[in-house]
Amino acid sequence: MATRSYFAPKVEIPRPLYIGLGLASVGVIFALWCLLTYGGLTPPDFLAAPHLVAEAAVKRIGNGTLLDNTEASLSVILLGFLFASLLSVPLGILMGSFKVVEAVVEPITGFMRYIPVSALIPLLILWVGIGLEQKVWVIFLGTFFQQLILISDVSRGVSKDLIDCSYTLGATKRQVIWRVLLPACMPGVMDNLRVTMGWAWTYLVVAELVAANSGLGYMILNAMRGLFTDVILLGVFTIGILGLITDTIFKVLRRRLLPWSAEF
């Protein structure tokens, strides 16, 4: 009966079971990978075996290339995401709370967020060159407009009754914004920043597509030209691990900085 209750909506499960199921899912994927490669079902040029990926990791950690490429990609991701977030958070909250701001910003946002970032790369090369700035702009454009829409929806979702109640209790407009609106928005803002950080990582290969000489995306694209699937998988796994680390950091920050928000 207890086991059947785990399949009911919104029912918590024991932490050991949660961790065990997660490890089991990873184990199934790894077992399938081993079956395909060691069982001879796929050629090495199509899918490298686990030990080849491990050897590629040891070699590139030893000569420092993996760490150098990781550092280069982290610089691009963090700079682009930071600049996008610093602009999108206040502007998104204003956009969702004040119709005047929404009327000015929403048409531009609605247009820009449907344009593929890769289509803008030729213009970015003309405007800012092929250095670090171009890569940072790709991450910025890939995340900023999406953040703006998501954060404005969070701000728009704050109950107007909460605002009206604050005015009734004697709060000024400044107090309502800083002590009611912002605290009500921040849990949703943090969740959306966490989601868009994942999108920023997905734009990494696009950012390092043109004239790059370092970075994980560059490493993957360079390995693709020689069909080195072990190096390709190494780059993919490295990006995935870094993504999980950043995701965990956002979860911890949400719990520590926003104690009034619901735990997850």
In this structure, is residue 252 part of a structural domain? Answer: yes
- pLDDT confidence band for 171 (50 / 70 / 90): confident
Are 142 and 224 part of one and the same domain? yes
Give per-residue pLDDT as tens, 115-162.
Answer: 888 888 888 888 887 788 888 998 999 899 999 999 999 988 888 888
Are 149 and 226 part of one and the same domain? yes
Are 135 and 26 part of one and the same domain? no
Rounded to two decimals, the pTM is 0.85
Are 36 and 144 part of one and the same domain? no
The predicted model gives 52-73 an average pLDDT of 91
Give per-residue pLDDT as tens, 66-97.
Answer: 999 999 889 999 999 999 999 999 999 999 88
The predicted model gives 55-68 an average pLDDT of 91
In this structure, is residue 72 part of a structural domain? Answer: yes
Q: What is the percentage of the chain residues whose pLDDT exceeds 90?
A: 30
Cα–Cα distance between 224 and 219 in angstroms, integer? 9
Q: Which residues contact 47 (CB under 8 A, 6 or more apart)?
A: 33, 36, 37, 229
Say yes or no to pLDDT of 2 above 70. Answer: no
Q: What is the percentage of the chain residues whose pLDDT exceeds 70?
A: 97
Domain that holds residue 33: 13-42
Are 119 and 22 part of one and the same domain? no
Are 135 and 247 part of one and the same domain? yes
Cα–Cα distance between 181 and 260 in angstroms, integer? 14
Task: Provide the pLDDT for residue 85.
Answer: 93
- If we measure between CA atoms, which residue out of 208, 213, 222 comes closest to residue 121? 208
Q: Report the 3 state secondary structure along 136-149.
A: HHHHHHHHHHHHHH
Task: Provide the pLDDT for residue 3.
Answer: 66
Residue by residue, DSSP assigns 68-94 as: HHHHHHHHHHHHHHHHHHHHHHHHHHH
In this structure, is residue 263 part of a structural domain? Answer: no
Cα–Cα distance between 157 and 185 in angstroms, integer? 9
Task: Provide the pLDDT for residue 87.
Answer: 94
